[in-house]
Structure 1
Amino acid sequence: MSDRKTTPGAGSGTVPSAPAPEGRGGAPALPQEALEIAAGYAFAGPALDLGALIWDGRCLPDAQIRVPLPMLNRHGLVAGATGTGKTKTLQLIAEQLSAQGVPVFLADVKGDLTGISAPGQPDDKVRSRAAEVHQQWTAAGFPAEFYALGGIGRGIPVRATITSFGPVLLSKVLQLNQTQEQSLGLIFHYADTKGLELVDLKDLRAVVAFLTSDEGKGELRNIGGLSTATAGVILRSLTAFEAEGMADFFGEPEFDTNEFLRTARDGRGVVSVLELSAVQDRPRLFSTFMMWLLADLFHDLPEVGDVERPKLVFFLDEAHLLFDDASKAFLDSITRTVRLIRSKGVGVFFVTQTPKDVPAEVLGQLGNRVQHALRAFTPDDQKALGATVKTFPDSPYDLEELLTGLGTGEAVVTVLSERGAPTPVAATRLRAPESLMGPVESGALERAVTSSALYGRYAQAVDRESAYERLQASRAGKGPDEMCAAAEAGERAGTGERRARREDDSSVVEQVVGSGMFKSLARSVGTQIGREITRSLFGTARRRR
């Protein structure tokens, strides 16, 4: 006699050992186990509706599965095999967050999340799903902004300076080993202390080239632990990286991540959609860029503790790319960021195929789980399935059988209750998104991008004086300290000349733009502020907004 649990899940075909008692009108009452599960999701405060409980192969629409809104900053995981409905789950959650006034960030790897801005199209499948789960479905679009890394793709360009990106994240992009990563950190420290601001790739390449040249070898010897050979490896990696067309991602104007925290005039949260389909062949770059965005938000946001609603919920698609071949320092930084950013009011959801794609230290920080179907065609698949089952709380389901039998748009759910305790495991038939399930027409997307108030702020790249230009002064035989001193002296002299001109200038615009203070601030970030740069998680630069 087997002690294996029965599977009261989707399509299991398992029959209860005894008939369920009848409810009102002769309809079968919920079994005791189903009643206990449903009671675990009966929250008193605001919550997002995920779907209806599945029990013994039946969808029970009166047993609604929900997630408390205040618990969305406790992070989460959306996992499942390809084609099981993960993207639609993201869309469903993002819509309801926006409706509750919470801004959302979506990494759109496949290019099919732009539809969140347009009303959905009702059809027989949508009507059938809505009826099954007692959903009052209404076609609706949500306020959205569209972005693209470095302007590669259709969206407002998102750029970062090399200085703020930092050595740890850049080392992952360049695939440097631990020794080379530490050496790159020394190079950043040298540039910071010498006032050589690193805005774009050519700036960093110029600094490394200077340190490996005959002129700069004396400076190289003063940087502890940095060898000429290692600096040469870093220089070659940078040159190859730039040759692959990566220069567009770094530069100015640098994107202000506080743009992601906006709400629309009607109070709904703005959904920020970052298009990544144009850079799918560079997964290491875009996954690392996502961590820069997260680290930058972490630096800027104040501590708020537990809040009634999150300030922002961040969805990282293809999350396994963050962790592939990552150094221990990088993994430690991710773990710390995920653990600490909750108190800043930010939730992070990792989206991937199996929980084993996420390191255990990170997985342990994720309080909300939506697990779509898994496949078990190979021994490795079977092993992954067993590992996934072990990550769930005890339940009356046979999860191994259930997870391989779920249909598209069905998932196993467990979240944190309002008390912060895990809810019972619930097989769930998920609701249908109310926005368009697919990309919007390209012309409509182009119009949305160019009509945005942010487009004029970030569309045009700016190349101002920075490390590359200042190192050109080495042709005059000046060392780095002399170059910085000369630059500062020139700025002070220019300030006096422009002040004299300004007294005779009647244009208010020219008085401001041509003022010594404005130009000096714009040009001397590296020389005056660069020496005071501090770095924190991921080695990213801390900046004041």
Structure 2
Amino acid sequence: MTDIVDLAAGTVFLGGGGADHAQPQNLLLKYANRHGLIAGATGTGKTVTLQVLAESFSRAGVPVFMADVKGDLAGIAKPGDPAGKLNEPFQARAAQIGMALEYEDFPVTFWDIWGERGHPVRTTPAEMGPLLLSRLMGLTDAQEGVLNIAFRVADEEGLALLDMKDLQAMLVWVGQNAKELSLKYGNVSTASVGAIQRALLVLEGEGGDRLFGEPALELSDIMRLDASGKGMINILSAERLVNAPRLYATFLLWLMSELFEQLPEVGDSDKPRVAFFFDEAHLLFDDAPPALVDKIEQVARLIRSKGVSLWFISQNPADLPESVLGQLGNRVQHALRAFTAKDQKALKLAAQNYRANPDFDIAEAIQAVGTGEAVTSLLEAKGVPGVAQRTLIRPPLSQLGPIADAERAALNAASPMALKYGKALNRESAAEILASRAEQAAAQAARPEARGDDDLWTMEKPHSRGRRYDPRIQIPNEAPAKRSSRASTSDSIATTFGKSLARQLGTKTGQALVRGVLGSLFRGK
């Protein structure tokens, strides 16, 4: 019988290939970081393939992150049911491909931007950066430029942008001081500021305000192993999120960017450090500017040296740009339907992406494979694409389908992530600092007899925040004194916010923080 995972051989079993489905089709773990594609029409078995791969990676000790856009991946947390209606066909398939089917569960952590069906997922505007935020809000080039100025000034003034209120307050300040800022940074149009504020209101209505805040998600918390050595399977609840496609795509791009920027180089390793699945992958590229697509292609090419395995799931390979599709070495193509001339053209293009098999016509096979069957091509020794095979995908070991809400709630309550991320925190940041400065300026303006020219910039401020800004004068060229951060209330909170503080306080040497999707790639450009 075929092992699901053979760490000695460095393989995971995907299914049985050949005319009789007796030839094991194994994914080589050392080439899993050459990325992969799962494609096929609705109802052809993409979700089962996704679940099977997630189980296999977990068993090999590789953490997994994936979005659940239909709400039917939660069953990974429970073993399959030997008395269920799917047991008999699954057992028959297992026997056909030479596999011993023994059901088991897998460690799962649920996440949800809204915090309703999983632990809240948060980041900060400072971590996401102006480039991704501009894409999220659909800003023009001029508006993106104003947003970049707002981030630059926030860095130089030590104003941490931690949530939506901070960003809105910073934009108000930029609009009020547009004339002075334009002299130093370039044109700042109040019309552009207003357009950004309107876009923020729309984003807030879509739930974007839930995404911004603290404690921000730490990558180490999605790259955990359980006590038995299985990789944690992180499931992002996306049934609601996918209805806000721009928010969904931007969040996934941000997470990929964080992986690229923070993980060290590991070169060619025996297995990936983490596997990342992009479901509904076409949403990443819809309306994306060419520059952004180029950067995604760069990350897909370079992130493999960080030990990250990327998998794109979509109905048709044509949904992905050619530059990205060319980076996907492992391919699982479920059935495609060719009802129109456009469909037939897409089918021919999909077939051309496979190494030919003399035993069958690939285009015909892609149309003919049944549910749970696929045309696969997995990288072989030295990274050579394997010959296309008609493969019967192995049955999952865990439950296929959703779990009860009570079961999900129990898993969430028992997770150690509940204590860390369950409660939102609100530290002093840009909104509070700007409000305090405005109050002090108003109080000083009310005492003209006590105000002199030397008092316009005051070095001593409550909480050691540095100089106080007076709206009547232009920002000086020299950088203000560095402010000290507030003391943490506990070691655990200090640990949680360590990364956030380092990023958000900015530099005081005149160099702006380099941020955005694939931020490291912009250095030196």
TM-score of Structure 1 vs Structure 2, range by shorter chain: 0.7 to 0.9
Q: Is the aligned partner of 1:408 residue 2:371?
A: yes
Partner of 2:301: 339
* Deviation readout 1:216-251 (Å, 9 max, x if unpaired): 532244322443332222122112222333211110
SS at match of 1:252: coil
* Structure 1 contact 474–483 (Cα < 8 Å) conserved: no
* Deviation readout 1:305-338 (Å, 9 max, x if unpaired): 0001110010110000000000122212211111
Task: Give the Cα separation in 2 of the matches to 1:484 and 1:318.
Answer: 53
> 101, 108, 123: which one pairs with 1:144?
108
* Structure 1 contact 355–363 (Cα < 8 Å) conserved: yes
Corresponding letter in the other structure for 2:100 = Q
Q: CA deviation at 1:536?
A: 4.5
* Structure 1 contact 190–223 (Cα < 8 Å) conserved: no
Cα pair distance change 1:483/1:540, threshold 3 Å? farther
Task: Give the Cα separation in 2 of the matches to 1:484 and 1:380.
Answer: 68
> 30, 41, 48: which one pairs with 1:70?
30
Q: Is the aligned partner of 1:298 residue 2:260?
A: yes
Cα pair distance change 1:119/1:527, threshold 3 Å? closer
Aligned residues: 474
Q: CA deviation at 1:537?
A: 5.2
Q: Is the aligned partner of 1:489 residue 2:461?
A: no
* Structure 1 contact 411–429 (Cα < 8 Å) conserved: yes
Select between 443-452 and 527-536 the one with higher mean Cα deviation.
Answer: 527-536
Task: Give the Cα separation in 1 of the matches to 2:392 and 2:218.
Answer: 39
Partner of 1:60: 21
* Deviation readout 1:60-110 (Å, 9 max, x if unpaired): 32x111111111111111000010000100111111111111111111111
Q: CA deviation at 1:512?
A: 7.6
Q: CA deviation at 1:486?
A: 3.0
Corresponding letter in the other structure for 1:534 = L
* Deviation readout 1:337-386 (Å, 9 max, x if unpaired): 11111001011000001111111111111111001000111222122112
> TM-score normalised to the size of structure 2?
0.84
Q: Which runs of 5+ in 2 are unaligned?
A: 1-5, 445-455, 468-486
Corresponding letter in the other structure for 1:108 = D
* Structure 1 contact 107–273 (Cα < 8 Å) conserved: yes
* Structure 1 contact 85–409 (Cα < 8 Å) conserved: yes
> 234, 242, 258: which one pairs with 1:280?
242
SS at match of 1:374: coil
Q: Is the aligned partner of 1:111 residue 2:83?
A: no
Q: CA deviation at 1:150?
A: 4.0
Q: CA deviation at 1:181?
A: 2.7
Q: Is the aligned partner of 1:169 residue 2:144?
A: no
Cα pair distance change 1:484/1:449, threshold 3 Å? farther
Partner of 2:315: 353
Task: Give the Cα separation in 2 of the matches to 1:465 and 1:483.
Answer: 20
Task: Give the Cα separation in 2 of the matches to 1:524 and 1:483.
Answer: 25
> 159, 178, 202: which one pairs with 2:122?
159
Q: CA deviation at 1:529?
A: 4.1
Q: CA RMSD in A?
A: 2.9
* Deviation readout 1:255-281 (Å, 9 max, x if unpaired): 101111111111111111111113231
Query: Which residues of 2 match residues 105-504 of structure 1 at below 5 A?
Result: 105-122=65-82, 123-151=87-115, 153-213=116-176, 215-396=177-358, 397-472=360-435, 473-477=437-441, 486=461, 489=464
Corresponding letter in the other structure for 1:489 = S
Task: Give the Cα separation in 1 of the matches to 2:16 and 2:137.
Answer: 46
Task: Give the Cα separation in 2 of the matches to 1:73 and 1:462.
Answer: 36
Task: Give the Cα separation in 2 of the matches to 1:442 and 1:469.
Answer: 39
Partner of 1:7: none
SS at match of 2:247: helix
Cα pair distance change 1:60/1:221, threshold 3 Å? same
Partner of 1:30: none
Q: Which runs of 5+ in 1 are unaligned?
A: 1-41, 493-510
Task: Give the Cα separation in 2 of the matches to 1:182 and 1:285.
Answer: 21
Task: Give the Cα separation in 1 of the matches to 2:490 and 2:108.
Answer: 36
Task: Give the Cα separation in 2 of the matches to 1:48 and 1:308.
Answer: 12
Partner of 1:505: none
> 513, 518, 521: which one pairs with 1:534?
513
Task: Give the Cα separation in 2 of the matches to 1:483 and 1:48.
Answer: 65
* Structure 2 contact 181–188 (Cα < 8 Å) conserved: no
Corresponding letter in the other structure for 1:403 = I
Task: Give the Cα separation in 2 of the matches to 1:514 and 1:149.
Answer: 26
> TM-score normalised to the size of structure 1?
0.81
Task: Give the Cα separation in 1 of the matches to 2:427 and 2:385.
Answer: 52
Identity percentage of aligned residues: 40
* Deviation readout 1:522-545 (Å, 9 max, x if unpaired): 998788545476325517599xxx
